[in-house]
Amino acid sequence: MKQVLFLMLFVTKENVPLESLSCLVEITPIPVRKKLLILDINGVLVDIVSSPPKGHIADIKIAKRAIFRRPFCFDFLNFCFERFEVGIWSSRTRKNVDSVVEFAMGDMQKKLLFCWDLSKCTATQFRTLENRHKPLVFKELRRIWEKDDSELPWEKGDYSQSNTILLDDSPYKALLNPAHTAIFPYPYQFQNRNDNSLGAGGDIRVYLEELAAADNVQDFVKHHPFGQRAISQGSPNWGFFLKVIRSVCPEKVTG
C-alpha cells in the first residue's frame, strides 16, 4: 500500500513566513522479501508408519502405509504461508511425496514455491543408524541458493543462508549445509494425541513466528537453539558421519 507523506515547506524572510506550500509526495515502500521455510513432511506434518497398533485408526492409507495428520496441521500451514515463502523437501520418492502432500495440505499445496523429493537429495552409499534399510541422504541447501532447478520461481541469489531455514526432524540430513540454517524438532509420533507443537502457542509455531521477524536466520538460530542438536564433532557417532561426509564431499572435511 502506498503511503502519503505531507510536507510543510516554509519560505521565510527576516523570520516572517511569506508563504506555506503543502506538498504531497507518494512513497512506495520497498517490499520485504519473506524468508524461505523448507518443510520436511514425515515427522513434521504427518507420521507415516507401516502398521499402526490396534486401537489406532489412520487418517488415510497411502501405498500400504498408515498416515496420521499432526494436530493443528492446517492451521500451522496457514500460518507458514502468511509469514514465509514455503517449499517442501522430502527424502521420499516423487510418487509417495505427491500423495502425502495432497493429503496433508489440500489446496494449499498450490501455494508452494517448490516440492522436492528424493531425486533432489545427495545420495550416499550408507544406511542410517536408526534403520539399516533406509538410505542415508543429505539435503544440500546450496541447490536452493544456486537455483539448481531452472524452474524455481526466483533469481539466483535471492535466497541465501541469511534468509533460508530448513525444518527437518533428521539432523544428519543437514550435515553438508552451513551452520545454523536448520532446526530439528523432535519427530511427531501419532501416539502423542496431546501434541500441540503446530498450534497457536506451540513450540514450533512460536519459534517460527520469532524467526520470521528476525533480521538474519543464522544469527537467530545460533542464539536461540531449538529441538535436537545439530550433529558436530562432539556428537556421538561423529566418526561414522565423518566417513559419510568424506565419501561424498571430501573437501568439506580436512580432519
**What pLDDT does residue 52 have?**
74
What confidence tier does 85 reach under pLDDT thresholds 50, 70, 90? very high
Per-residue cell: 197: 507443537
Confidence of residue 5 (pLDDT cuts 50, 70, 90): very low
**CA of 199: how far to CAs of 79, 100, 168, 213, 227, in Å?**
10, 20, 18, 19, 16
Residue 203's domain comprises 36-42+71-252
Tell me, yes or no, whether 23 lies in a domain: no
Predicted confidence (pLDDT) at residue 1 exceeds the cutoff of 60: no
Q: Angle at Cα 253 formed by Cα 187 and Cα 246, nearest 5°?
A: 75
Best CA proximity match to 136, nearest among 167, 108, 111, 171: 171
- Tens digit of pLDDT for each residue in 164-201? 999 999 999 999 999 999 999 999 999 998 999 999 99
Q: The whole model's pTM is what?
A: 0.86
Which residues make Cβ contacts (< 8 Å) with residue 238, sequence separation at least 6? 231, 232
Residues 6+ apart with CB under 8 A from 131: none
**pLDDT tens digit string along 108-161?**
999 999 999 999 999 999 999 999 999 999 999 999 999 999 999 999 999 999
Q: How far is CA 96 from CA 74, 107, 155, 247, in A?
A: 20, 17, 29, 28
Read off the CATH number of the domain in which 85 is found: 3.40.50.1000
What are the Cα distances from residue 55, in Å, to 47, 52, 187, 188, 229?
16, 8, 21, 18, 34
Q: For residue 14, what is its C-alpha cell?
A: 527576516
19 belongs to a structural domain: no
Q: Of 130, 134, 146, 140, which is closest to residue 89 (Cα–Cα)?
A: 140
Mean pLDDT of the residues in the chain: 89
Locus of grid cell 533406509: 134
* Helix (H/G/I), strand (E/B), else coil: 234: coil
Q: What's the pLDDT at 55?
A: 83
In a domain, 21, yes or no: no
Residue at 230: amino acid letter: A
Domain assignment present for 135: yes
Domain count for the chain: 1
pLDDT at position 191 is 92
What local confidence, expressed as pLDDT, does residue 196 receive? 98
Residue 208 confidence class, pLDDT cut points 50, 70, 90: very high
Q: What is the per-residue pLDDT across 7-38, written as a single tens digit (0 to 9) for each?
A: 344 444 455 454 444 444 455 444 568 999 99
The pLDDT value recorded for residue 253 is: 59
Q: Average pLDDT for residues 77-101, to the nearest whole number?
A: 97
Q: Would you say residue 213 lies in a domain? A: yes
Residue 124 within any structural domain of the chain: yes
Strands of 114-116's sheet in order across: 114-116, 85-89, 36-39, 164-167, 182-183
- Integer Cα distance of 85 and 133 in angstroms: 34
Backbone φ/ψ region at 222: left (φ over 0), alpha (ψ -120 to 50), beta: alpha
User: What SS3 state is found at 206?
Assistant: helix
99: in domain: yes
Residue 13 maps to a domain: no
Counting every residue written for the chain, the total comes to 255
